[in-house]
């Protein structure tokens, strides 16, 4: 697939089927469609990257006062390494700024070097490790925090 033209928008209920499909391809313990539906009904920001009507990736964040916690970020395996993850994070951060979120936390597998590098490009810094955080396979999580949201395009 050539590099698709991608737009990032807020996730809608009708995106959940495609999002859950990507989730099941990328994660060993995927969220269900109901999990995404429940999340959309809470204080969250969920975005999708689309080419035409096809969801290529997504990111979700729970919000509490001025803090956000990124729960999941995924790009369809067929279109990874094409800059879609960067567009998704950028879109999420723009919405977080509008919502007056000032601090964002996330966990990432310690072995996921491409994701760690991407987060670092946006200014996330490693602040610790959660031992045995992930299952299937069991692995530690790197805790990363963004203390100041900048604009990246």
Q: Which residues are catalytic?
A: 107, 119
Return the beta strands (E) in 6-138 as ranges: 7-10, 44-51, 54-64, 67-75, 103-109, 125-134
Structure letter (DSSP) for residue 153: -
Helix (H, G, I), strand (E, B) or coil at 48: strand
Cβ proximity of 72 and 107 under 8 Å: no
Rounded CA separation 141/139 (Å):
7
């Amino acid at each position: 697939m050539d590099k698709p033209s991608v737009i990032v928008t807020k996730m809608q209920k009708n995106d959940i089927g495609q999002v859950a499909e990507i989730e099941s391809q990328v994660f060993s313990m995927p969220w269900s469609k109901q999990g995404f539906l429940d999340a959309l009904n809470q204080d969250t920001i969920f975005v999708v990257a689309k080419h035409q009507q096809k969801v290529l990736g997504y990111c979700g964040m729970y919000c509490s006062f001025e803090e956000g916690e990124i729960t999941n970020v995924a790009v369809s395996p067929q279109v990874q390494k094409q800059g879609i993850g960067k567009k998704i994070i950028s879109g999420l951060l723009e919405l977080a700024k509008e919502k007056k979120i000032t601090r964002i936390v996330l966990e990432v597998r310690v072995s996921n070097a491409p994701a760690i590098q991407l987060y670092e490009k946006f200014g996330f810094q490693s602040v610790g490790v959660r031992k045995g955080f992930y299952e299937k396979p069991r692995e530690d999580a790197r805790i990363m925090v963004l203390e100041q949201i900048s604009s990246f395009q």
